[in-house]
Structure 1
Amino acid sequence: MTVATMLARFALTAILATGLAAPALAQANEPGCRPEMASYRLPIQRVNLARDEVRLTFIGHATFLIETAGGVKAATDYNDYVRPPVTPDIATMNKAHSTHYSRAPDPAIKQVLPGWDPSGKGAAHHDVTLGDMRVRNVPTNIRSYGGDTDYDGNSMFVFEIGELCIAHLGHLHHPLEPGHLRALGRVDIVLFPVDGSYTLDQEGMLEVLKAVQARVMIPMHFFGGGTLNRFLSRSQDLWPVERRERPEVVLSKATLPAKPTIIVLPGH
């Protein structure tokens, strides 16, 4: 091990000790959130992307791998149980549960972006650009372990790639206010939780999706087909549904559906 690597790991350990260990009190058990989830891996097709194309791969739970034509990779809600089979360049995290953040992120990750301020002084503020990807956050509140409100305890993350804007809503616990919508800006693709209990209830999530007005809506955080199907039954009169056979989809501004569409990727 080189001296530089040792110093990098020492610095990372210090960050984790002071910041990322704090969310333990905000955790609650979610069904299926077990260490065995670490074995859940999906093959990724390495098809070259054209300019302005983006590949989204549903790794599982709330984790997606987002890849750009320039080779930049980001993992959402990066954690110690469900991880992509490649090391991302950027990792975003939320602290609501241990399956949404990592105590030991891979030291090779260039940018680790917690959706909360580890110092506890307020909201997190991120706006980073790496290659052809820009990532920024919009803070939200969460319920703490005791049921109180943890103000600015989480974030929605926006990924801007070429002409596409992708919003990952994270562990959203409440409806979005006008200020949230203004901060998000135009959203082309939204990744949203549909469990309806650990996050915002399903009727509330429908209202969020109506307000966001994304052309592509990809559900996540549903644990099993029953929960997902309950959400789809609620939304069936609002938007068409496309079910894909593989966990990844390649999109660009030019290939977005003409009408807002829910795209279901296999996984849970």
Structure 2
Amino acid sequence: MKPRYLVLAIAWLATFAAPVPAAAQEQRTPVSQCQAIAQNLPKATFASFSGAPALVPAVSEGEDVKFTFLGHSTFEIETPAGIVIATDYNGWYRPATTPDVVTMNKAHPTHFTLTPDPGIKHVLHGWSDVPGEKATVNLVVGDVYIRNVTTDIRFSYGLGGSQENGNSIFIFEIAGLCIGHLGHLHYELTDSHYTEIGRLDVVMVPVDGGLTMGADSMSRVIKRLRSSLILPMHRRGPPVDAFLSMFGKDFDVAYAPDDSITVSMRTLPKKPLIYVLKGVR
């Protein structure tokens, strides 16, 4: 091959081998791995182990996802690439560093703010301001793909009636993990909802016992989802024990010594584990 053509060939290969800029990564059309897996596998049955096993520390660099409970229904989620997400962000419970992404739900002022920190690059609303429309989130930021599934909510403060699609279950796909935040869930999910959600390895669930749903109704949702790791949140009034009492031997329960947990695909519990972080109970 002549030198000039060799140079052109090398340049052509380099163009395709070059890393994709971050902006382009965020614009590419995302594909959900959690939905694909859920729709192609039969119902899984978890192995049964006696006792409540301690969560194995995540040790694989590049696979760890860290969850920190900040308060109410706000978790800080940190991805392996260092992307910081705050769920149900209301401006009161904030990560130590300005998050890259915040999600919000419009059930009560404790779940959203219309004046977020201007340094936050992605502010994702779980509701649409256009009557009759659903909020639609399909976003890739760094190493996380974020999507949502909308549900109806009751109007606040005893006004009666409900608002269609006023809540979003936000789903974060990170390092092979399917992670769901149920938001301010007011009604049990339908078969259509479960299909849209797909598989959830980790789920953050409100356990207030009535402001969202009663413990029995919420426990049915969790049993249907069959997530490996269940993180209670949004406890108001009754102790978390009312929620825990709804589960039998198919679920383990453990109380965390602090407000954080780090997990990866390799270190997920083999049996569904309800893990109560410090500050929830």
Same fold (TM over 0.5): yes
Please name the residue that 1:267 is paired with: 279
TM-score by length of 1: 0.79
Residue 222 (structure 2) pairs with residue 222 (structure 1): no
Residue 80 (structure 1) shift: 2.7
**Contact 1:48 1:69 (C-alpha < 8 Å) held by counterparts:** no
Residue 147 (structure 2) pairs with residue 136 (structure 1): yes
Unaligned segments of structure 1, at least 5 residues: 1-46
2:120 aligns with one of 103, 109, 120: 109
Q: Which has the higher contact order (CA 8 A, sep 6+)?
A: 2
Query: Which secondary structure does the structure 2 equivalent of 1:78 belong to?
Result: coil
Partner amino acid, structure 2, of 1:109: I
**Contact 1:49 1:69 (C-alpha < 8 Å) held by counterparts:** no
Going from structure 1 to structure 2, the CA distance change for 1:148 and 1:157 (only over 3 Å counts) comes to same
2:258 aligns with one of 213, 222, 246: 246
Structure 1 ranges of 4+ moved more than 4 A: none
Partner amino acid, structure 2, of 1:180: H
Residue 270 (structure 2) pairs with residue 258 (structure 1): yes
**Contact 1:80 1:103 (C-alpha < 8 Å) held by counterparts:** no
Query: Which secondary structure does the structure 1 equivalent of 2:115 belong to?
Result: coil
Structure of higher CA gyration radius: 2
1:54-88 CA distance string (max 9 Å, x none): 00001010000000110101100000322222211
**Contact 2:104 2:125 (C-alpha < 8 Å) held by counterparts:** yes
1:166 aligns with one of 157, 171, 179: 179
Identity, in percent, stands at 43
After superposition, the CA RMSD in angstroms is 1.6
Please name the residue that 1:38 is paired with: none
**For residues 117 and 71 of structure 2, what CA distance do their matches in structure 1 show?**
18
**Contact 2:250 2:271 (C-alpha < 8 Å) held by counterparts:** no
Please name the residue that 1:208 is paired with: 221
1:201-258 CA distance string (max 9 Å, x none): 110011100111100001000136x421111122254411011111000000000011
Please name the residue that 1:87 is paired with: 98
Matched positions, count: 221
Partner amino acid, structure 2, of 1:142: I
Please name the residue that 1:151 is paired with: 164
